[in-house]
Structure 1
Amino acid sequence: MTFTDSTVTREDYDAMTAALTELLTRAQVKACFYDLGRRPYPLSLATFGMLENQQRPYPYPLRGQAHLALCCQRPSESEPSIWFLQINLDERGLLIPEECARFARLLLNTLGADLSREPHTEEEKNALAQHPQHWQPSPERMAMFHALLARDLHQPASRYYEHAQFYLSGKAGWENWHGVGLQGLADVVVRCGQEQNHALLCQALAHAPEQALQGICLCLEQSDISREMAQVLLQRQHLQHQNPEADTESRLLLLRALAYAPDLPEIRDFIVQQLRQADVNAWLIVLTARLIHRLSDPQILPVYLEALAGSPLFGRLYPEVITQPFLRSQIFAMLQSESAPRALIDALTALQQQLQLRAE
């Protein structure tokens, strides 16, 4: 991510290969991307260039798309301009270059040479907000993205940060959670290694009521967490399991918060246990949507696929799983094995027949 000495013009762009990366490289901006599909992942301009040129599959697909934030910043400015875009992937999991080029043309036609400026007129704002590739991240995704971006730009946390810290300390009373916003919690999670934030989060996970726990978990599910924090979550999960009044949603929320915890045997055993129960559909959805990387565990993947094969969700969830670059070879190896579950083979055959009928 370097600054260039020239400003791109429409004439320059017409002579290019219409690549988004090329446009950003030629402009006088510092540009980078963040994937916001399941959690915020920074992508340098060089990395995105390789993805745009189809040199490798997109690493974080979600529902057949890349969900991105593009940040452009001039050297003299502290605040970047941000655009949210989604780009479709082809059947190989590669970015479709024509869609990248379409967004590049939109930027150039709307903003001209200065890609770091905010749109001024209503026409410009509408063009960028209503284009077909625009998407709006959920509130918890937006909060974590802004918290991470501020940290990466060496900027202070939001004005909600200290209030969130005060609540997590327990000094305000655990019942007084109403004024604690997602942005403040996200700032604490992103800055977990600073001040006393790690200890504050562990304390709140053990004592906060369900309503406050929800906001904390929605942020934690997008961040790496420590072994100690994972153990606190597992203990709370155990207490929920023993509570006859606890609902499934609360337990699913705690599992989601363990998404990027270390690979602990207790987490693996808990996931396998839930996959072997009769009412498995809600757990299949959460594992696919939020903990999909854990399916690469050789003790989890076979149990997951067998449970999925017997679920009405197979046609909806299997395409999401098989498009993950890190899972594809494992699943193909399982299918070619003599010990492949019969139910999985039958479910795949039925899915292929359905797709053929739709294509006719």
Structure 2
Amino acid sequence: MATMHTLNTLSEFLLQAKTQFCVYDMGRKINKISTDDFMQFESAQRPYPAPLQRHAQFAITFWNKNENNQHYLWFLKFPLDEQGLLIQGTRNIFLNMVVESLGLMLEKTPSEEQQEQLATNPYVFKPSTDKVAMLNAVINRDLMRPESKYYPTAHNYFANKLGFEHWQEVGVQGICDIAARLDRDNNAQHIAAALPKLPTEPLYSLCLALEHEALPTAINEAIATLISQEAALATPNDVRLSMLIRALSSAPAQGLRTDLYPALFKHNNISQTIVALAGRCWHDLDDEARLLAFFEAAVQQQQGQELFIYLFSDLVAIPSLRNKVLAMLRNPNRTNTLGSAIGLLFRQQRS
């Protein structure tokens, strides 16, 4: 039987306990992480692809078919080094605490005391309600389990069978179930048709669910139209724009998003939208000219220098962007406004 001395990773621990498990990134978006990729990340052989605040945030769902087949869910958050690699000592501390609390085999349902001990573990975190709901929908879909009891009401709502003004009857879990099952029950067609007509509250809840999914063309085009309409206003609604950008962030057609950016970058009152672009559309910023335009737009916002420093710190920690973000600091085409913000960044780093 393995002991703690021979268990070096969470993957080894879960395999030793004879469980099956799935891992999902819970940072910027909910994305499934393959077992091989997760093992390489745990052994510091590859960086975490999309760190958030220099941390890896992920969920592990695991179960033992030979026992009660009950599914368990851990939300874990570990610090990363400058290269995006796991600081392995923190994972080892967590693993030791779990073994001391639950044992090696995970054969029994944890007691209330054991659950409380795990909840107070410094490497356990609590995601937002909307993310938990979306993860539940994604896990149920991936494991071919039925959707929640809230799905039928949400389906009828987006099919406009209840009236769009009756959004209070629709649960967040139902909205997430719809977003995770766009290929069923004409859900994609219903969503595309409903988007221009939705009241603010259900629209925002839907956007927070759609941001995790590769959407079909009809929905992408409907969202892009709403963004274009909002960006054409003299004073666009920053919150609405940020939500719509988040919803479009996983669109397979990158050009559909990036074609919208010049119109967005003309505004100086969209700081939340700028933050949303960095947080959810970071993969669009791998183009040198677009990255520079993004930072130029950031420094034009209210408290632009502070916003620039926050965004720089966020994006430079993403392995795929790090070198390009650092190169931007020396770009000779930058404006004086951006140059001043870069100067403040250097002064803060020296102090």
Q: TM-score, normalised by structure 1?
A: 0.88
1:118 to 109, 119, 142: 109
Q: Which residue of 1 aligns with 2:317?
A: 323
- Looking at structure 2, the residues matched to 347 and 244 of structure 1 have their Cα atoms a distance apart, in angstroms, of 26
Q: State whether residues 288 and 328 of structure 2, in contact with CA within 8 Å, keep that contact through their aligned partners in structure 1.
A: no
2:348 to 349, 354, 360: 354
Which range is displaced more, 99-108 or 70-79? 70-79
2:190 to 195, 200, 203: 200
Which range is displaced more, 171-180 or 258-267? 258-267
Q: Which residue of 2 aligns with 1:4?
A: none
Residue 342 of structure 1 and its aligned partner are, at CA, apart by: 5.4
Q: State whether residues 249 and 257 of structure 2, in contact with CA within 8 Å, keep that contact through their aligned partners in structure 1.
A: no
Residue 37 of structure 1 and its aligned partner are, at CA, apart by: 0.8
Q: Which residue of 2 aligns with 1:3?
A: none
1:174 to 164, 169, 178: 164
Deviations 1:88-121 (A, max 9, x none): 011221111111111211221111133364321x
Q: Superposed, which structure 2 residues align to 1:236-251 within 5 Å? A: 236-240=226-230, 247-251=237-241
Q: Which residue of 2 aligns with 1:90?
A: 81
Report % sequence identity: 29
Structure 1: segments with no counterpart, 5+ residues: 1-7
What is the DSSP-based 3-state SS (H/G/I as helix, E as strand, rest coil) of the residue aligned with 1:178? Answer: helix
Q: TM-score, normalised by structure 2?
A: 0.90
Residue 316 of structure 1 and its aligned partner are, at CA, apart by: 1.5
What RMSD in Å do the two structures reach over aligned CA positions? 2.3
Q: Which amino acid in 2 is paired with 1:304?
A: F
Q: Superposed, which structure 2 residues align to 1:123-202 within 5 Å? A: 123-202=113-192
Q: Which residue of 2 aligns with 1:258?
A: 248
- Looking at structure 2, the residues matched to 321 and 355 of structure 1 have their Cα atoms a distance apart, in angstroms, of 16
What is the DSSP-based 3-state SS (H/G/I as helix, E as strand, rest coil) of the residue aligned with 2:264? Answer: helix
Distance 1:254 1:337, change over 3 A: closer
1:100 to 91, 94, 99: 91
Which range is displaced more, 273-282 or 237-246? 237-246
1:232 matches 2:222 = yes
Q: State whether residues 254 and 284 of structure 2, in contact with CA within 8 Å, keep that contact through their aligned partners in structure 1.
A: no
- Looking at structure 2, the residues matched to 181 and 301 of structure 1 have their Cα atoms a distance apart, in angstroms, of 38
- Looking at structure 1, the residues matched to 236 and 8 of structure 2 have their Cα atoms a distance apart, in angstroms, of 54
Q: State whether residues 134 and 177 of structure 2, in contact with CA within 8 Å, keep that contact through their aligned partners in structure 1.
A: yes
Residue 171 of structure 1 and its aligned partner are, at CA, apart by: 1.0
Q: Which residue of 2 aligns with 1:285?
A: 275
- Looking at structure 2, the residues matched to 32 and 118 of structure 1 have their Cα atoms a distance apart, in angstroms, of 19
Deviations 1:279-327 (A, max 9, x none): 2422221212222222224452120122335512122221111111121
- Looking at structure 2, the residues matched to 245 and 276 of structure 1 have their Cα atoms a distance apart, in angstroms, of 11
What is the DSSP-based 3-state SS (H/G/I as helix, E as strand, rest coil) of the residue aligned with 2:24? Answer: strand
Distance 1:78 1:172, change over 3 A: farther
Residue 64 of structure 1 and its aligned partner are, at CA, apart by: 0.7
Q: Which residue of 1 aligns with 2:293?
A: 303
Structure 2: segments with no counterpart, 5+ residues: none
Q: State whether residues 210 and 247 of structure 2, in contact with CA within 8 Å, keep that contact through their aligned partners in structure 1.
A: yes
1:275 matches 2:265 = yes
1:40 matches 2:21 = no
Distance 1:144 1:94, change over 3 A: same
- Looking at structure 2, the residues matched to 241 and 90 of structure 1 have their Cα atoms a distance apart, in angstroms, of 38
- Looking at structure 2, the residues matched to 272 and 25 of structure 1 have their Cα atoms a distance apart, in angstroms, of 49
Deviations 1:239-273 (A, max 9, x none): 44567897332222222211111335453232222
Which range is displaced more, 146-155 or 69-78? 69-78
